Structures are given as C-alpha cells and as structure tokens.
Amino acid sequence: MTARRSAGILLYRRRENVIEVLLGHPGGPFFGRADAGDWSIPKGEPSPDEVDMEVTARREFEEETGHPVPDGPLIDLGAVKQKGGKVVYAWAAEGDLDPAAATSNTFSFEWPPFSGRMKTYPEIDRVEWFAPEEARRRIKQAQTTLLDRLDSALANRVATSRAPGDGPADR
C-alpha cells in the first residue's frame, strides 16, 4: 500500500526584519475550537493524473487561499511524515497575501453524524500570518520541520549573498 501524499506551499514574507509565515486553519465541524497544533501549510493530495508534486502544491495553494502562488523561485523544503503517516512535500515562496481576501474551496460532510443532512464547509476556514515562535505553536508538529528548513534556507541565502569583505568582521 502506498503512503498517502500531499503537497503544499509555505508562503513567507519579511516584516521589520522578521520572517512571517502564512498558515491555514482547517475548516469543518471538528476543528472549530482547535488551535495549537492544528494549523497547516495550504496543501492537499494530488489528483489521479498529477505526478509532479510541485504542480499539486501550486494547485492546492490556489484552491485553499483563492490566490496563485506568487511569481519567483521556490525553495524546496523536502518532505515530512505526519503522525498519521501522510507524507507532505513542501516548497516555500516569498510573497504577501491579505488574509481577509483569502477564500477556500469547500467540501460536503454529513453533520450532525447520522442525520442525513449534508453541510458544506471550507477546507481552510481562515489563514493568518505568524512570526516564527507563534507559528511553531500553531502548526502541526511534523510540519515544524518545514519551518526549520525554511529558516536554514534563508540563512544560507543571506550568507552566500555577502561578498568577501562585506561583513562587519571584514571592516
């Protein structure tokens, strides 16, 4: 049996020398009061004809936020395995998005159970920007690794963008 897979985009922005990340809160009747440890990067499973997980990540981001992934290079954050066994492939993109303008696709679900009544819920009921410490408190535990990988990738970019003689120690 093949492990379940999903792919997503971790959107980040710079605010006053602090990196903030965009996380989504799951919609539906089970997550209304859920908070710490339940937020996620916008992500989803590939359709049967999708083999390129980056394509899946871009599609899912747009479906769950109502906005395309910003133009520009993506940072490959690799994959993480969540507690339930699902493997999540992720990329980071720099950009901005107004949480009030975000809209998510929906799903139907019988609620209350055994009532025969179908209700429609957004896959993500809201998105918010979080500074690193708060993001680590809110995001699913396995996905904290994605935050670590983003931090490392951004630190490496800063280090490699400095020319010799550019740093304070070289003055």
Residues 28-76: pLDDT tens digits?
Answer: 887 777 788 899 999 999 999 999 999 999 999 999 999 999 999 999 9
Span between the terminal Cα atoms of the chain, in Å? 59
Residue 53 in tokens: 């997980």
Tokens of 96: 């901005």
pLDDT band at residue 165 under the 50/70/90 scheme? low
What is the percent of the chain where pLDDT is above 70?
Answer: 92
Beta strands in the chain (DSSP E): 5-15, 18-26, 43-44, 75-81, 87-94, 106-110, 118-122, 124-130
Q: Say what the pLDDT of residue 35 is.
A: 81
Identity of the residue numbered 111: W
**pTM attached to this predicted model:** 0.88
> pLDDT confidence of 168, banded at 50, 70, 90?
very low
